[in-house]
Chains A and B, each alone.
Chain A
Amino acid sequence: MNVEILHRPANTAAKITLDPNEECTSEGGAMIAMSGDMRVATAVNRHTGSLGRTILTGVSRQIAREGYFLNTFTAGPSGGDLYLGTHLPGDMTMIELTGTTTLKVQSGAFVAHEQGVAMGIVWEGLKSMFSGERLIWLEMRGTGKVLINAFGMIYPIHVDGEYVVDTGNIAAYEATLDYSVTKAGGSWVSSFLGGEGLVARFSGRGTVWCQTHADRVFGSRLTPHLKPRKEK
């Protein structure tokens, strides 16, 4: 699987080239165009066993805003390609997993992953709830490429020691890092008066991918300006 990211940062699309019979799994609705002989299979999860577990996986992915179903694209006998895009203006980035690290991805940021990668869903617990962020994160393990997207641009920060990121601007991070939700400034008063509120303080060694804008924040800015439709 070869990934070429085109037209960054606002109009980004990814061109994915697959070898013969190679597979790539994407979120539903991301496909813009594909080779004529590409096969598409829709499933909740290709590797879960029991029905109960399958439903649970789908529902939690629904809560994670990634949609109940995933599409798996399989190239034909001579290989093929596939263009993936998103609805909103924004960036994409490709992260290569080497099998040793786990990648945590903000729910909603996932676009696609290579065959050797397994996607799980994790509950981040109360620290995530207090920070006003999502409770559920996606966890990528295995070996292969992962494609993520964000509303706004994505930039990596290599952390060695400590680094502070606004809780709304984390797109993904390596699980070699841990974070705690804390105040941004020296005191709680200055943190809130300064408008930063809660931030994530990362510690350890690894990479965090930040996004310059968050669609949720933009959406909440937009909503008060939208006029309700008249009841008919």
Chain B
Amino acid sequence: MAESGAMQSMSAELTMQAVPNGGIVSALGKRMFGGESFFVSRFTNTTSRTLRVTIAQDIPGDIVEMPLHHGEEVVLQRGAYLGHAGDVQLKAAWAGFISWFSGEGLVHLRARSESTGTVYFGAYGAIIKRRIEEELKVDDGHLVAYDPALTLKVSLSGGLFASVFGGEGFVTRVIGTGDVYIQTRSVRGLAAWLNPKFR
């Protein structure tokens, strides 16, 4: 399964079907709030040979291949999902006003596997995987995915003065023990460089 539009090339013998992203209601939710598309593409190999499909994201950056086993789960931020294989359920989950406040949307995706599956997600720039023991503060727009055992809170990066004038604004406090994936660039940062170039 892959995000619609993610397919770059594939063996001609593969069958590709557009299916709603995990049921009509759930797909609608993902489309409206999660920044994901309503349809996803399902690639099926009906032959007896091994066939190949290549999927890629729209923006230049790393892709993480994450195996999920027996009840393991990962939370993906808006737009990060790329595809999955095997047994993976995707659920649009309420991310809370905190997430919306930091510009990440009201809904995020939870990918979960009851048996064995792989989920693929991407980012703009490189992805840094970081183990959190207590707390990590992540700048707006740099959080890609995280372990659902972690909780998120939004706070100012420093004091009021530091946050407004220091250029860091709001940060997301990621609290608990688990892995977090952060991207080294942000699309908003690129836009901030580009905007003054428009006359």
Chain A interface (Cβ < 8 Å from any Cβ of B): 6-7, 10-13, 15, 27-42, 67-69, 71, 83, 85-89, 215, 219, 222-223, 226, 228-229
Contacts and interface: CB of A to CB of B under 8 A. Distances in A.
A85 to B, nearest CB: 5
Nearest to A84: B184
A228 B60 CA distance: 26
A10 B125 CA distance: 8
A197 B91 CA distance: 59
A219 B142 CA distance: 24
A28 B157 contact: no
Interface stretch (B33-41, B82-90, B102-110, B189-197): B189-197
A226 B195 CA distance: 10
B158 A11 contact: no
Contacts, number: 122
Contacts of B165: 28, 42, 68-69
A85 B125 contact: yes
B135 interface: yes
B139 A33 contact: yes
Would you call the interface of chain B mostly helix, strand, loop, or mixed?
mixed
A219 B134 CA distance: 41
A89 B185 contact: yes
Contact of A41 (B139, B162, B184, B198): B162
A229 B130 CA distance: 41
A13 B167 contact: no
Contacts of A41: 158-159, 162
Contacts of A215: 193
Interface string B137-179: 1110010000000000000011101100111100101010000
Contacts of A229: 198
B162 A32 contact: no
Contacts of B185: 11, 85-87, 89
Contacts of B130: 33
Nearest to B137: A34
B197 A226 contact: yes
B126 interface: yes
Contact of B126 (A13, A35, A37): A13
5 contacts: A27-B167, A33-B128, A40-B158, A41-B158, A42-B166
Interface string B22-65: 00000000000000000000000000000000000000111000
B168 A28 contact: yes
Contact of B184 (A12, A35, A71, A219): A12
Residue from the set A35, A36, A39, A88 with the largest chain B CB neighbour count within 10 Å: A36
Nearest to B161: A42
A88 to B, nearest CB: 6
A84 to B, nearest CB: 10
A228 B166 contact: no
A13 B184 contact: yes
A123 B137 CA distance: 37
Contacts of A11: 61-62, 125-126, 184-185
B166 A7 contact: no
